[in-house]
Amino acid sequence: MPFKIERNDITKIRADAIVNTANPQPVIGRGTDTAVYEAAGRDELLESRRKIGEIKRGESAWTPAFKLKKNGVKYIIHTVGIHYEDGAHGEKEILRGCYSSALKLAVELKCKSVAIPLLASGNYGFPKELALQLAVEEISRFLLENEITVCLVVYDNEAYKISEKLFDDVEDFLSDNLEQTGNTPYILGASQIASCCFGAAPEHLSKSRTKSKNAKASRSVAFFEPEENKFEVLEEPCAEKYIQSKEEVVAPADVDAFISTEKNTLNFQNTLQQLIADRKEQNATIYKKACIDKKFFSKIISNKDYVPKKHTVMALGLALELPLKEYEAFLASAGYAFMPSSRFDLIIKYCVINRIYNIVRVDVILNDHGEECFAPA
Please say whether the beta carbons of 327 and 317 come within 8 A: yes
CA separation for the pair 52, 35 (Å, rounded): 20
Paired strand residues for 4 = 151
Phi (first) and psi of residue 163, to 5 degrees: -70, 155
CA separation for the pair 196, 357 (Å, rounded): 40
Q: Which residues of 279-306 are buried (b: 16+ CB within 10 A; e: fewer)?
A: eeeeeeebbbbbbbeeeebeebbeeeee
CA separation for the pair 302, 211 (Å, rounded): 46
Q: Are strands 3-7 and 149-154 parallel, antiparallel or unpaired?
A: parallel
Please say whether the beta carbons of 287 and 273 come within 8 A: no
CA separation for the pair 192, 14 (Å, rounded): 60
> By C-alpha distance, which of 364, 343, 371 is closest to 7?
364
Active-site positions?
Answer: 33
Amino acid identity of residue 215, one-letter, is A
Q: CB 338: neighbour CB atoms within 10 A?
A: 17
Q: CB 273: neighbour CB atoms within 10 A?
A: 13
